[in-house]
Amino acid sequence: MDHPHRVVLLAGPSGSGKSYIAQRTGLPVLCLDDFYKNGDDPTLPRRNNLVDWDSPRSWDAEAAVETIARLSRDGKAEVPVYAIGADRRVATRPFEVAGSPLFVAEGIFAAEIVEECRRRGLLAGAYALRRPRGTTFLRRLTRDLAEQRKAPGVLLRRGLALLRAEPAVLRRQAGLGAQPAPAREVLRRVADLLAGHPHHH
């Protein structure tokens, strides 16, 4: 089946600038973080009695793929609005890709759905944003402190843990089919896709 719209999946470690780069493509951007499961969902993975929000199992891959499929087919869909502070979906909003042949879906778990999107013929490209680790660490910490997501000590500890985990995160995302690439390269490839010259591997 031919889809009028196709998705560019943009993964990358937490704080690597996915939403910023997604915005810079000039394409419609679907935020995949809105597909986290609700905090009271019994299927949520737990670690030391706390929900492990860094685990892909804390995220509803099926709903994300269904939404991408609907956008690819119809050009519009209702998407969830997720409040991180409340750990739940608080609303839905209409999302449209309008006349654009491509749209970006970005999020820390974007790589988890590369295979399924490819299988369904929805995928235009899939990338994992690679940044210098120190940069990512500082950007994430600055953002989280500004948004007062959690106590500073908690954020710092989580930041250091994520910093150590980052190479493993990128390896995992690459293994799932998202090509690690720096921001410039991602933007160049998306421009190429838009120009209708897909890069063949």
Regarding predicted confidence, which is higher, 111 or 137? 111
Whether 71 has a pLDDT exceeding 50, the answer reads yes
* Residue 1: band (very low, low, confident or very high) from pLDDT cuts 50, 70, 90: low
Whether 201 has a pLDDT exceeding 70, the answer reads no
Instruction: Give the span between the Cα atoms of 45 and 91, in whole angstroms.
Output: 24
161-179: pLDDT as tens digits: 888 988 999 999 999 999 9
82-114: pLDDT as tens digits: 998 899 999 999 999 988 999 999 999 999 999
pTM: 0.89
Instruction: Give the span between the Cα atoms of 197 and 178, in whole angstroms.
Output: 19
* Residue 62: band (very low, low, confident or very high) from pLDDT cuts 50, 70, 90: very high
Instruction: Give the span between the Cα atoms of 53 and 44, in whole angstroms.
Output: 8
Q: Which fold has domain 6-194?
A: Rossmann fold (3.40.50)
Q: Tell me, what amino acid is at 97? A: V
Q: Could you count the other beta carbons within 10 Å of the beta carbon of residue 199?
A: 10
Compute, in degrees rounded to 10, the torsion defined by CA atoms 82, 83, 84, 88. Answer: -70
Q: Which residue has the tokens 């990128």?
A: 170
Give the model's pLDDT for residue 197.
54
| Mean pLDDT, residues 125-131 taken together | 95
Instruction: Give the span between the Cα atoms of 162 and 15, in whole angstroms.
Output: 10
Contact residues for 196 (Cβ-Cβ < 8 A; gap 6+): none
Give the model's pLDDT for residue 148.
85
Give the model's pLDDT for residue 132.
84
Coil, helix or strand at residue 171: helix
Contact status, residue 121 vs residue 25, Cβ threshold 8 Å:
no
**Strand 76-83 with 88-96, pairing:** antiparallel
Instruction: Give the span between the Cα atoms of 150 and 167, in whole angstroms.
Output: 24
Q: What is the DSSP string of 90-115?
A: EEEEEEE-TT-SEEEEE-TTGGGGHH
Residue 50 structure tokens? 């706390």
Q: Return the H-helix or E-strand segment holding 131.
A: none
Give which of 127, 92, 142, 170 is closest to 9, Cα–Cα. Answer: 127
